[in-house]
Amino acid sequence: HDRTAWWQSAVVYQVYPRSFADSDGDGVGDLRGITARLGHLQRLGVDVVWLSPVYASPQADNGYDISDYRAIDPSFGTLDDFDALVADLHARGMKLVMDLVVNHTSDEHPWFVESRSSRDAPKRDWYWWRPPREGFEAGQPGAEPTNWGSFFSGPAWHLDEATGEYYLHLFDRKQPDLNWENPEVREAVYDMMRWWLDRGVDGFRMDVVNFISKDPALPDGATTGVGGVGDGFPHFATGPRVHEYLQEMHREVFGGREGDFLTVGEMPGVTWQDAVLFTDPARREVDMVFQFEHVSLDHGPGGKFDPRPLDLRLLKASLGRWQTALGEVGWNSLYWNNHDQPRVVSRFGDDDRWWRESATALATVLHLHRGTPYVYQGEELGMTNAPFASVEDMRDVESVNHHREAVAAGADPEVVLRGLRAMGRDNARTPVQWDGTPNAGFTSGEPWLAVNPNHTWLNAAAQYDDPRSVFNHYRRLIALRHEHPVVAVGDFRMLHPDDPALYCYERTLGERRLLVVANLGGEPRTAGLEPGWDAGHVVLANSDEPRVADGHAELGPWEALVLLR
């Protein structure tokens, strides 16, 4: 097991380009906007930037629907702008990881245009085309080849009238799934990946990459009763050939190439047992995976838009299990936020009474686990969920479709809206709050999604010189990882697992011991400690006067301490 890979002590920062910084006043963030703000990232101290998709795209899913893998969408700029961004990042000692979206393309990609052109088109087999179900006429309800539902509501199959067949789309109907069974598809993807590496990028974050191998029999899923929709998940997630494909990709794309690369597979529903296989360095698949267990714990019986309060004990059990599972072989990614998740300070923290304290406590707890932490733009400022007045204020295809379908099915619109407000992806996508001016310094024009009104006080400019700010807390956490190998690779041991408010753990590496003691609740708490720790060991705190003595720490609401000896 290689314990010295460079990414073990690295921190990754995710940029969602639409919402990061707009250089030309069209209300959409762009590449030049990112380049102009690299000082922010350098100040924070991150090592890698993961760029959400900037490829040519009709933007049905904000760029996760790609129509040309070798071109930049004009709304984001040009290939020259891209090269300039990479050069500037490299000059500052940072790396760039591209988003690789190859489970599906846009329906406007030339591959799909050709594929749909006739039943015997040479690229017909590049996607999943199937005739209507036996005994059904095309277009008849229930004629879909399987009963699978799409992630964005409705069936996962769309009828193409011209050829009378259906194509599979696990996401939007403008995102047809590629058929990885076809070796030409795989070779085309690897060729494109090599093209980006030749251009100087440092790796890939692979979108839903555990969905690329489907059971070719395409069996119906078990039904749960809701509108006859079946659960196709067991038939397309972590399918029979996924390990083979990832090993082939590694060989074909990285084989014989010199350099410090990073690969991370986004894998909804992945189990820790599978994650060990995906991330075992000896198997040469990916360096780490994004798993979803800890961000599903507050999903209620009705799914993600029916949230329930988080039970902290479940969160600790979950993250602790992953720490243990990938403790010897494999590696964890650590995240609270990305462009698909609501803001953590609003979700698991208290964005009202204990905004600064809870944002910094949650950051502390996450970052000092064993694994590679990911910071999603604005998280380092403590950005919160947005006060959406109605669904008209939202833009995300997932939210808009869910609202339409749920209300049509008779759900109370207020209840639906409440779920979207708490869990909708647009919460993560409001523009980055650079300063307190009317559009938060994001754009001189009309932003594509409204800025959060709290930018008047919650913004980067207000935080840079405030030593207690959320930004400076993140900066110190990142510096701790860089400075102390125990943070990167030390062993992990959870403490007080059954306590409903305390989140405490110990990391050890040789003689070095690092202790994290956090109160993730609004009431003061006492945490019992092993003897030997005292206030002199505190290396980081989100409070002014840590109280540690005689085998315990006295913690105020959302107080978090880091001790080292």
Q: Which spans of this chain sit near ligand ISL (rule: CB under 6 A)?
A: 61, 64, 101, 151, 171, 207-208, 266, 268, 304, 339-340, 398, 425
Task: Kindly tell me which of 402 and 513 has the beta carbon lying closer to ligand ISL.
Answer: 402
Q: Please name the residue that has the structure tokens 């093209």.
A: 195
246, 217 contact by CB (below 8 A)? no
- Is residue 43 within a helix (H) or strand (E), and if so which, with residue range? helix 38-44
The least distance separating ligand ISL from the CB of residue 151, rounded to whole angstroms, comes to 5
What's the number of CA atoms in the CB half-sphere (13 Å) around residue 94?
A: 27
Strands 165-168, 491-495: pairing is unpaired
The least distance separating ligand ISL from the CB of residue 19, rounded to whole angstroms, comes to 13
Catalytic residue among 61, 207, 396, 559: 207
The least distance separating ligand ISL from the CB of residue 290, rounded to whole angstroms, comes to 8
Distance CA 391, CA 424 (A): 10
The least distance separating ligand ISL from the CB of residue 207, rounded to whole angstroms, comes to 5
Task: Kindly tell me which of 37 and 304 has the beta carbon lying closer to ligand ISL.
Answer: 304
Q: What is 171-207 written as a DSSP string?
A: S-TTSPBB-TTSHHHHHHHHHHHHHHHHTT--EEEET
The least distance separating ligand ISL from the CB of residue 174, rounded to whole angstroms, comes to 11
- Catalytic residue flag (residue 260): no
The one-character DSSP state at 528 is E
34: nearest Cα among 13, 8, 63, 12: 13
Distance CA 194, CA 199 (A): 9
Task: Kindly tell me which of 55 and 558 has the beta carbon lying closer to ligand ISL.
Answer: 55
Catalytic residue among 65, 107, 177, 266: 266
Is residue 162 classed as helix, strand or coil in its secondary structure? coil
Can you say whether the dihedral through the CA atoms of 352, 557, 323, 372 is positive or negative? Answer: positive
Closest residue to ligand ISL using C-beta atoms = 64
The least distance separating ligand ISL from the CB of residue 14, rounded to whole angstroms, comes to 10
Burial class (CB in 10 A: 0-12, 13-18, 19+), 182: middle
The least distance separating ligand ISL from the CB of residue 64, rounded to whole angstroms, comes to 3
Is residue 235 classed as helix, strand or coil in its secondary structure? helix
Alpha helix (H) residue ranges in 464-530: 470-483, 485-489
Task: Kindly tell me which of 274 and 340 has the beta carbon lying closer to ligand ISL.
Answer: 340
What torsion, rounded to 10 degrees, do the Cα atoms 236, 7, 369, 352 define?
Answer: -80
The least distance separating ligand ISL from the CB of residue 301, rounded to whole angstroms, comes to 16
The sheet carrying 129-130 orders its strands as 129-130, 165-168, 157-160
92, 44 contact by CB (below 8 A)? no
Q: Which amino acid is at 490?
A: G
Question: What six digits make up the tokens of 55?
Answer: 């490829």
Task: Kindly tell me which of 102 and 527 has the beta carbon lying closer to ligand ISL.
Answer: 102
* Residue 486 CA to its chain's centroid (Å): 25
- Catalytic residue flag (residue 207): yes
Residues acting as catalytic residues:
207, 266
